Structure 1
Amino acid sequence: MMDVVREIRSFNQGRDPDRLTLKYRNMRASPFVFLRGTCHLFYDRLAGIGAPRSAPLTWVCGDLHLENFGSYKGDNRLVYFDINDFDEAALAPASWDLIRFLTSLWVGAESLSVESREARRLCEVFIESYATALGAGKAYWVERDTAQGLVRVLLDGLRERQRSQFLASRTDLKGRRRVLRTDGKKALPASDQQRAMALQVIQEFAAAQANPKFYEVLDVARRIAGTGSLGVDRYAILVTGKGSPDGNYVLDLKQALPSSLVPHLKVAQPKWRSEAHRVVALQRRVQAVSMAFLQPVVVGRVPYVLRALQPAEDRVALGGKSAQSASDLEGVITEMAKLLAWAQLRSAGREGSDIADALIDFGQRSKWRARVLDASIECAGQVRRDWSTYAAAYDDGAYSS
């Protein structure tokens, strides 16, 4: 029998203690946040539960859930809504992303004010929408002109969001010079050693760029973001950009760790130059248009993913203080299902993934659908049990040191 408490502590060993404390506290909040923070545990469990064996191999996100879709500005300057987290990406059965997303719907139902019967219906909507889009065999994308419902509301709202407003939310002005705000909400102070490391990365990267002055570093902080990656080596880096004070840019530098899926996969993975090269290559492969500034960098032997933080980055507001109608929620779920299908079609036939014809055939078949739904129900029950074990241990002080 798995020792959940020991497994979580072991997996997170060596992480930044300040941000790891935040991660453990956040995971105590609900089974959904716990799911987001324990991707490794999910796949440990899925290996015992099993998934449909007939699913074709595809490039999966690996950590697909309700909050890993969002808006961003592509390198063509247009704003898109798409899957936006590829830390766990790998070559795996297509059903793995399906099961993880459906599990997030089950365990996130309470925060969405959705009862069990409605959660099941939304899961069935997701499966049907995914299968229909996959079976059609054509990869599309979601931008402002093609978005609908709450996704359209999100993308329309970004029209008025200015860089100066974005900078004001993350920095403080000292005269005409900005510094990163380190109030424990989005960032924490960096040590001299950490600042020097980040500076070295950006200087080496800038030297190969057409406009190196754009990347002149003004400030460095430890970034607070996400749930699963909290405690991983990660920095917010303020650079001159297009000029101070309101033309500054904020970069995100995040250590890339091995995918939690790979230990459970029997299929051979490509020999990536580094984990950062894996993350970036698969993000570029799967997204319709790549995010601006996305680059792999390696410092010594430590791989990092470098990208820009953007005013255009956001998520559809679901649950909490945001009330949405059943039709609005169904619309978002439908869009997410289509995006998953299009991502798999877009990356078909690459370095071991099955060709589009195999994916189309899978989408048009029906036997796997009930098995995927059943597996997600079993996974969701296990997540709730594991969270209960974790919550009790957390309350007893098991994660206080």
Structure 2
Amino acid sequence: MSAEIRSRAASIEGSALGGFGVQPPTRAELRAQGKAHRSDLPLAAHAESGADRPDRDAVGVLRAQEDAREHGLIPLRYGRMAASPFAFLRGSAAVMARDLAASPSTGLTVQLCGDAHVASFGMYAAPDRSLVFDLNDFDETYPGPFEWDVKRLAASVVVAARAGGASDAARHAAAVTTVKSYRKTIAAMAAMPPLEAWYARVEVDELAARLRRTALGKGVRRAAKKSLRNTGDVAVGKLTEAAPDGRLRFRADQPLLVPVDDPLESGIDARVAVLFDRYLSTLTPDRQVLLSRFGYRAVAHKVVGVGSVGTRALVLLFESGDGDALLLQVKQAGRSVLETISPAASTSPEHAGRRVVDGQRLLQAASDPFLGWTEGTRLPRREYFVRQLRDMKGGVDLTALDGEGLAMYGRVCGAVLARAHARAGSAAMIAGYLGGSSAFDEAVASFAVDYADVTERDHAALCAAIADGVVPATTV
């Protein structure tokens, strides 16, 4: 076990990794420790937003991130964030992180997703090829207080419900439902034997069956069908074309997809070879054997996401001897927005790409078998994480859900987040702190409603800065 992983595990409340043979605390002891935290931070205190600071400048926080991004893509990032308050929320994890850091904290540490809004949950293929529903965005993962993820999730439910025209009462009820689901599920996970809790996961077929009589159930079934069609082969068909010699190459769709080859950028193939070799060293031998059956063909720059726009993202094309294609995404990893503000922060991780990979493996019930990390060859040396591109990934269409549907979806996401936190922290301590009342649910719902107002004001400020020519923006 690396020093970094041991340090992270030791920071999680209730961890028993202090030494071999040390008797772990019982569930009852952990619950009692969690309950004792209420005297330091009452449940009702979670209604505070931390966003009323006089020096708060959301647009300034976003602009401070520009130095670490490809400058030519920065206007596209702002254009996508300006599309709606929800799009702004998705791209402004750094803004909300600062607000959460200014609010009261429990100190009950887990490995956070770091960006747990409703669009960070979705479907994908587990290694056994079954379709699962789980968290699927870990760019900002870092240890921190469990409630930070819960509050970001609840706020995103309210912002999404506002976009759908839900009433004030419906938006508040959706937030309460989301947080209650988290609280109930973390209590259930705390009561399970460790192995049972560790292997728990949400199968999409089972989820659709439980929701079959609801509007959300229809959305889940529709999304599942689409996810099953969203395979690597489909992505290959959309992103590539046959070159004159018959081999596949990437299509040009600038600035979203920009093929790169040696005549355009001398030495690119050699640099990709080094980057790929470093990535292979992070995989288990069986994955290395599988990848040895494919040969490298091409590389392209590909724009992804909302908040990620401007960070470097590559897609690599491989083919087997018989023409079977494989696409790998190589995505730049930087410092988490939580690294300097989390109460659990100590030193920066040794490798930003490994930070993402380790966090994903810890939080997800099943992870991409090709997940790994690497770094570039040029200075300043960029660090990356690697994964498959579009391996049955998909998600529910949130715009098709009304207030009731979003409340139900929030309930599902709240339960999934609790399951992730049970792997990444002490479920018993969190359950002990939250207790059996609805006090935490109501407090975080009040936070979420208030923070939706904050998000709308921040979005308006960004749009005004764009209109005034202060912030560059474009759409594609």
Does residue 372 (structure 1) correspond to residue 451 (structure 2)? The answer is no
Does residue 181 (structure 1) correspond to residue 255 (structure 2)? The answer is no
Per-residue deviation at 1:384? 1.6
Per-residue deviation at 1:306? 0.6
The residue type paired with residue 182 of structure 1 is A
Contact 2:90 2:306 in 1 (8 A): yes
Instruction: After superposition, give the CA deviation of every residue in 1:157-212 in whole Å (9 maximum; x if it has no partner).
Output: 44455543332122223364222223137423446269443343124445872255
Quick one: structure 1 residues 253 and 215, their matched pair in 2 at CA, closer, same or farther if it must change by over 3 Å? Answer: farther
Contact 2:172 2:446 in 1 (8 A): no
Contact 1:73 1:310 in 2 (8 A): no
What secondary structure, in the 3-state scheme, does the structure 2 residue paired with 1:263 have? coil
* TM-score, length basis structure 1: 0.88
Instruction: After superposition, give the CA deviation of every residue in 1:242-292 in whole Å (9 maximum; x if it has no partner).
Output: 742xx2111110111111112222224576331111110110011001123
Give the alignment of 1:217-366 within 5 angstroms: 217-241=296-320, 243-244=322-323, 247-269=324-346, 272-300=349-377, 301-319=381-399, 323-324=400-401, 327-348=404-425, 355-366=426-437
Quick one: structure 1 residues 111 and 236, their matched pair in 2 at CA, closer, same or farther if it must change by over 3 Å? Answer: farther
Contact 2:312 2:332 in 1 (8 A): yes
Distance 1:214 1:8 in 2: 43
Instruction: After superposition, give the CA deviation of every residue in 1:85-140 in whole Å (9 maximum; x if it has no partner).
Output: 11111111111011111111222224334333221111111011111111112443
Question: Bigger shift: 286-295 or 68-77?
Answer: 68-77
Question: Bigger shift: 234-243 or 198-207?
Answer: 198-207
Contact 2:118 2:157 in 1 (8 A): yes
What secondary structure, in the 3-state scheme, does the structure 2 residue paired with 1:236 have? strand
Counterpart for residue 172 of structure 1: 241
Contact 2:339 2:348 in 1 (8 A): no
The residue type paired with residue 179 of structure 2 is I
Q: Which has the larger radius of gyration?
A: 2
Does residue 384 (structure 1) correspond to residue 456 (structure 2)? The answer is yes
What secondary structure, in the 3-state scheme, does the structure 1 residue paired with 2:297 have? strand
Counterpart for residue 72 of structure 2: 18
Contact 2:171 2:403 in 1 (8 A): no
Question: Bigger shift: 171-180 or 266-275?
Answer: 266-275
Instruction: After superposition, give the CA deviation of every residue in 1:29-56 in whole Å (9 maximum; x if it has no partner).
Output: 11111111111111222333x14x3362
Does residue 202 (structure 1) correspond to residue 314 (structure 2)? The answer is no
Counterpart for residue 145 of structure 1: 205
The residue type paired with residue 218 of structure 1 is R
Contact 2:301 2:315 in 1 (8 A): yes
Quick one: structure 1 residues 99 and 211, their matched pair in 2 at CA, closer, same or farther if it must change by over 3 Å? Answer: closer
Per-residue deviation at 1:299? 3.0
Instruction: After superposition, give the CA deviation of every residue in 1:130-158 in whole Å (9 maximum; x if it has no partner).
Output: 11111112443112332222334422444
Distance 1:108 1:325 in 2: 10
Identity in percent:
26
Distance 1:95 1:147 in 2: 25
Give the alignment of 1:12-161 within 5 angstroms: 12-48=66-102, 50-51=103-104, 53-54=105-106, 56-137=108-189, 138=192, 139=197, 140-148=200-208, 149=217, 150-161=219-230
What secondary structure, in the 3-state scheme, does the structure 1 residue paired with 2:334 have? coil
Instruction: After superposition, give the CA deviation of every residue in 1:337-379 in whole Å (9 maximum; x if it has no partner).
Output: 110010011222xxxxxx2321232343433333222222332
Per-residue deviation at 1:66? 1.4
Quick one: structure 1 residues 193 and 308, their matched pair in 2 at CA, closer, same or farther if it must change by over 3 Å? Answer: farther
What secondary structure, in the 3-state scheme, does the structure 2 residue paired with 1:188 have? strand
Distance 2:460 2:226 in 1: 38
Structure 2 gap segments, 5+ residues each: 1-54, 209-216
Contact 2:360 2:367 in 1 (8 A): yes
Counterpart for residue 467 of structure 2: 395
Contact 2:174 2:408 in 1 (8 A): no
* TM-score, length basis structure 2: 0.75
What secondary structure, in the 3-state scheme, does the structure 1 residue paired with 2:432 have? helix
Counterpart for residue 352 of structure 1: none
Contact 1:235 1:254 in 2 (8 A): yes
Quick one: structure 1 residues 212 and 92, their matched pair in 2 at CA, closer, same or farther if it must change by over 3 Å? Answer: closer
Counterpart for residue 38 of structure 2: none
What secondary structure, in the 3-state scheme, does the structure 2 residue paired with 1:315 have? coil
Per-residue deviation at 1:297? 1.3
Contact 1:242 1:248 in 2 (8 A): no
May I ask how many residue pairs the two structures share in their alignment? 388
Counterpart for residue 351 of structure 1: none
Distance 1:364 1:194 in 2: 60
Quick one: structure 1 residues 211 and 21, their matched pair in 2 at CA, closer, same or farther if it must change by over 3 Å? Answer: same
Distance 1:365 1:54 in 2: 17
Structure 1 gap segments, 5+ residues each: 349-354
Distance 2:404 2:59 in 1: 39
The residue type paired with residue 288 of structure 1 is A
